[in-house]
Amino acid sequence: MLNRRQLLAAAAVLPASSAILSGSRAAYAADIAEGLLDSDLVYLSPIQSSGALSSCQAEVWFQYHDGAVYVVTSDKAWRARAVSSGLTQARMWVGDVGVWTDSDGKYVNLPSTDVSGALIDDEAQIKAVLKKMGRKYPASWLVWGPRFRKGLADGSRVMLRYDLA
């Protein structure tokens, strides 16, 4: 398990694989990495085939695990339907300004990155992510942990992985 300093260092280095980053871009990557450690929410919006952001947006619980962001959602939610239909690109804002519809658009001022989504069905990966989510959201997990596990087992929920761009 990475500690905060290791994660921040990795986040600053990863985007530099083919070029040296400018100071502002490295700082932005560090802001995203720090947000993934500190925030209880990320905000997601699918990117339509035209390249435009979808009007379907939401704040969601997430878990940062092995360099990706994981979300559990209803199999009928737009997030799941978008990925299932091949619209795997999304925009993710990192931070917490509350419910997106009540935020007066503040979430769009948070650090953001484009991500690529995929459905996850690997049981070991699901188990590891759910265990971490239980530690991240301990009070709410008493109610939502069993719901997530039951839904993932019966197919009414899916786990999505969003890989950072």
The model's pLDDT over 14-37, given as tens digits with 9 standing for 90+, comes to 444 334 444 555 665 777 888 888
Tokens of 44: 């997601």
**For position 99, what pLDDT does the model report?**
66
What single-letter amino acid sits at 91?
R
Model pLDDT for residues 92-111, shown as the tens digit of each residue: 988 877 666 666 777 788 88
DSSP 8-state code for residue 75: T
Is domain 40-164 in CATH 2.30.110.10, yes or no? yes
Predicted confidence band of residue 69 (pLDDT cuts 50, 70, 90): very high
Which stretch of DSSP H or E encloses residue 71?
A: strand 68-74
Per DSSP, what are the bridge partners of residue 157?
Answer: 74
Give the Cα separation of 134 and 42 in Å (integer).
17
Residue span(s) of the chain under CATH 2.30.110.10 come to: 40-164
